[in-house]
A and B are shown apart, each in its own frame.
Chain A
Amino acid sequence: MKKIEIAKITSLNRAPLIIEGYLFEGCDPEAPSIAVVGAMEGKNILPLYTASKLVDFLKNNISGKESIKGDILVIPSINHYALNINERFWPLDKTDINMMFPGYALGETTQRIAKKVFDVLQNYTHGIILENREDLSSCIPYVKLFQSGFEDLQGAKLFGFKLIHHKELTPINTVSLQYNWQLWGTKAYSIVCPNENQIDINSSHEIFEGIIQYLNKNRIIDYKVLNGFESTITTKEDVEIIKTPKSGIFIATKQIGSYVIKDEMIGKIVHSLNGEVIHRFFAPSNGMIVCGYKNALIFEDAVAFRIVKSGS
């Protein structure tokens, strides 16, 4: 294993930000390679943890050097400055590094960081980006793949997650790492992790096993794990969006990942001052709750649940 310095940014009053990658060189020059990117945002706790556990696994747990066939680069964190002070974006100007790709060497600070990271990520056969949802919700772990024209939808099934979200591309997505990585020829995927401040060990294992399975099925490592799920590909037509007609205190009575039946109560809104239940949520169809609002206080018309419909 080699530790490589990808970028170094100095600061007037903070210790320098040094972005490092852990490079595991494979024994088979013909084998495909992969790079894994962890926390780009300061609230990417599960992406950070999962990437760091992957480093530990590749360094200490995989038996024998021969098991690593292709080159594997893991970058557990890009935005330490934000992580260390619980900021989401770049702490000075609040820009999102994942909106700066492919980067610009002569541009603003986060454009320069993106450029240095992107330069290192070039020419990998496969790419994984660990991220969270952009809105105020948490979710089951799933693969997010933009409908970019460059995506490999079949390849996404090799992670063995229950869900692949084949998402419409919007203008804002054209400056994301996933899109640009694909544009430059890498089979890139985003794994969307549950959005929690604490480590959820079960979700972390699920994501970790998905990555190991992907590495194994693509012959990047030789390490068998139990097969995952036969993934379901969803688009927005498959998803029921349940919004709250009232603001207040949101209480989910069904957990994310639960199967629900039509008309089953799944949550409620309590008036924040007089304590009365002012709204009850009922599942509009059979299916699985794949996303749920994660804060206790909810805005009017905010999306409380997303249910992937099941049945004929």
Chain B
Amino acid sequence: MQITEIFSSQLPVGETLSIKRSRFEPTKKYDSLKRISIVSGIHGDELEGQYAIYLLSSWLNKNKDAIRGIIDIYPAVNSLGIDSITRGFPLYEVDLNRAFPGAEHEYLPGQVVHALAQDVKGSDIAIDIHSSNIFLREIPQIRINKEYSNFTLPLAKELNCDFIWIHDAVTVLEATFSHTMNSMGTRTLVVEMGVGMRLTKEYGVQLLSGMLNLMQKEGIIQSREHFEAREPFLSEVGEVFYLNSPTSGLFVPALDHCAVIKKNDVIGTIVEPLTGEVLDTLYAPNGGILFTLREYPIVYEGSLLARIFGETDEKN
């Protein structure tokens, strides 16, 4: 394992900002090595990727002889943000995942994303691990832009996630890491799992198995271990139903995350602590799996409370 600083910048008072990469390579020489890059911490409040990457680097350290390709890991792209519980790039308040591809001559956040994109460039595969945000809990899922789904869907199925969400191309998303890397020829997947500012250990273990399975299939590792890859459900076979808050208040969920629900099941209530009133009761608009559930209870009108994946014509 070799640790490299892919970007550094001297901060004003006695500190250096540093973005680091670890590279794992085979102990022996092999021809035409494939390269995979695994990235996390583009958002400073998302930590699930830190744990999944820790598990991966720990496995690789114990299984050096299994390595047949180049495995680059970038655990903390927004390193200043991670250490200060800040989603965007501190001070600039810039969402780094809306700042790609960046440029050498841009402001500091633009320089950081440019350095990352240039370093990952040339990889055969990239995985960008996110944790939703502090507001929502998500089951392990892959988000795929329809524009690149022919190339990325087969890879996504190997990642041992529960759900693959193929979404339409949106212009604003062209400023993301995944779009930038896909347009540069690196097949890139976005993982969303868990919740911001927390670790969900079982999801980390689940994704580790998926990453190892994908690497095994792609010939980047060669191991006798069996890595689980569960069959994900695809967004194309059903529909995603959104439940936004009709009013502001305190959201109290009535169901557990990941529950299989029926149409009109109570998802939760919006309450007013000051008066003891129930302001609204939220019912499932459709049956299916509750794959997104509000974690942060303060809501405004419009705040996302839940997402359900179900069959469109489901009769309950």
Contact = CB atoms under 8 A, between A and B. Distances in A.
B2 interface: no
A299 B9 contact: yes
Best-surrounded residue of A107, A171, A246 (most CB of chain B within 10 A): A171
Best-surrounded residue of B249, B300, B302 (most CB of chain A within 10 A): B300
A241 interface: yes
Contacts of B105: 241, 243
A249 B12 contact: yes
Given A170-B175, A172-B172, A174-B171, A297 B87 contact: no
A273 B300 contact: no
Contacts of A9: 248, 300-301
Nearest to A170: B175
A298 interface: yes
A303 interface: yes
Contacts, number: 97
Interface stretch (A47-55, A87-95, A159-167, A223-231): A87-95
Contact of A109 (B92, B107, B300): B300
Best-surrounded residue of B93, B111, B133 (most CB of chain A within 10 A): B93
Interface residues of B, number: 40
A303 B175 contact: no
B276 interface: no
B107 A136 contact: yes
Contact of B272 (A12, A170, A172, A300): A12
A106 B298 CA distance: 18
A243 B105 CA distance: 8
A272 B300 contact: no
A174 B172 contact: yes
Contacts of A297: 12-13
Interface of A: 9-12, 88-89, 92-94, 99, 106-112, 134-136, 170-172, 174-175, 241, 243, 246-249, 272-273, 295, 297-303
Interface of B: 9-14, 17, 87-88, 91-94, 98, 105, 107-108, 111, 133, 135, 171-175, 242, 244, 247-250, 272-273, 298-304
Given A136-B92, A174-B171, 14 more contacts: A12-B272, A12-B298, A89-B93, A92-B298, A93-B303, A110-B302, A135-B92, A135-B107, A136-B107, A247-B9, A297-B13, A299-B12, A301-B108, A302-B108
